[in-house]
Amino acid sequence: MAGSTPASLSPESALSTALESGPALAGPKRRVTPGQDAWRRFRRHRLALVSLFILGAMVLAVTLGPLVWRVAIDDIDFAAMLQVPTMAHPLGTDDLGQDILARLLYGGRISLAVGLAAMLVSVVVGVVVGSVSGMASGWLDTVLMWLTDLFLSLPQLPLLLLIIYLFRDSLKQLFGTQGGVFLMIVIVIGGLRWMPVARLVRAQFLSLREKEFVEAARALGASRLRLVTLHILPNALGPVIVAATIEVASAIIAESTLSFLGLGFPPDIPTWGRVLFDAKDTLDVAPHWAVAAGSAIFITVLAINFIGDGLRDALDPRRVL
């Protein structure tokens, strides 16, 4: 009848009404920030999440461990030399009766500090070189990439040994024994590992500088420095962060290699590599000594690599999780 209201809606009318009223009933959608989205993606990577907790535990152990385990690293007890792990010495003792756990907790600070500092050096140099090369054109880009290829072609371990032999004594006189060796190792390792970061940043810049948002900022009168700092570099940091985690692991291995060869820190500073070097002659009678130091290096490097894999998945916008 004209002017009457139907008692029930047809299926088509009900669907149309639901679609029209759906957004209003659902309410405003919660905004997800890029950081929250990256954390959600990172949590999906189980090994990376477990490795993050393991690495955090390692950092807490080497930072706060000496405050809890108050055994001096230089206490010599010949009656307890090469002792297997016990309650008094959870990781055993070395050939001088010194507690291995106390020495690893102390040396872990130096090994991790070397890894982080060398990573910062390599990332800063690599980002600067890659950014300049990616934004420049012509001869400057060619020269910078030629320089990068030149450093990539150099044999790193012989060059490390040569630089250490040439400058170790002078740096010790300027900054002291421990400070001079630390500064030398950080500069040498970081200065010889910036090339992959530079090539990665240059590739990101070559791709991003042609994007529409960069062209729009350029059309609005943005300077080249503003384009780099506000538009291009923040969008290129994802792969750089992943590369930085790998550089930390590589720097720890490099420092351990130098200490194992007897060219790193002095014998009285028990870095993980130095402890492993001291344990090499007693593998047949005291394998626990080498296993403890080797396990610390292995677990830390493995955890950092898994964290890098998780960051790669979390910061890749093309990957659907």
- Decide if 248 is inside a domain: yes
Q: Is residue 152 part of a domain?
A: yes
**Interatomic CA distance for residues 281 and 290, integer angstroms:** 10
Do residues 259 and 274 lie in contact, with contact meaning Cβ atoms separated by under 8 Å?
yes
Residue owning tokens 């371990």? 157
Is 272 a domain residue?
Answer: yes
Whole-number pLDDT of residue 32: 67
DSSP letter string, 131-178: HHHHH--THHHHHHHHHHHHHHHS-HHHHHHHHHHHHHHHHHHHH-HH
Contacts of 273 (CB under 8 A, 6+ apart): 111, 255, 256, 257, 258, 259, 260, 264, 293, 297
Instruction: Tell me what pLDDT residue 18 has.
Output: 45
CA distances from 164 to 187, 208, 212 (A): 11, 40, 48
Please check whether residue 285 lies inside any domain of the structure.
Answer: yes
Q: Is residue 169 part of a domain?
A: yes
Q: Which of 153, 117, 99, 95 is nearest to 255 (CA)?
A: 117
- Assigned token pair, 104: 């690893």
Q: Is 89 exposed, middle or buried (0-12, 13-18, 19+ CB in 10 A)?
A: buried
Is 83 a domain residue? no
pLDDT at 319: 55
Q: Which domain holds residue 62?
A: 36-72+91-314
Beta-carbon count within 10 A of 119 CB? 26
User: CB-based burial of residue 210 (10 Å sphere; 0-12 exposed, 13-18 middle, 19+ buried)?
Assistant: exposed
Supply the CATH number for residue 219's domain: 1.10.3720.10
* 3 is a domain residue: no
Using DSSP's 3-state secondary structure scheme, residue 244 falls into helix
DSSP 33-100: -HHHHHHHHHHH-HHHHHHHHHHHHHHHHHHHHHHHS---TT---GGGTTPPP-SSSTT-B-TT--BH
Domain presence at residue 103: yes
Angle made by CA atoms 34, 35, 37, in degrees to the nearest 5:
65
Instruction: Report DSSP letters for 172-233, one per residue.
Output: HHHH-HHHHHHHHHHHHHHHTS-HHHHHHHHHHHHHHTTSHHHHHHHHTT--HHHIIIIIIH
What's the structural domain count of the chain? 1
Cβ-proximal residues to 138 (8 Å cutoff; 6+ apart), any chain: none
Please list the pLDDT of the chain residue by residue as tens digits (321 residues): 444 444 444 544 444 544 444 444 444 556 767 677 778 888 888 888 999 999 999 999 988 888 888 888 888 888 888 888 888 888 888 888 888 888 999 888 888 888 888 889 998 999 999 888 888 877 888 899 899 888 888 887 788 778 777 777 777 777 776 677 788 888 888 888 888 888 988 888 888 888 888 888 888 887 888 888 888 887 787 788 888 888 888 888 888 887 777 777 777 788 888 888 888 888 888 888 889 888 988 898 888 888 888 887 777 655 554
Per-residue pLDDT, 54: 92
pLDDT of residue 7: 47
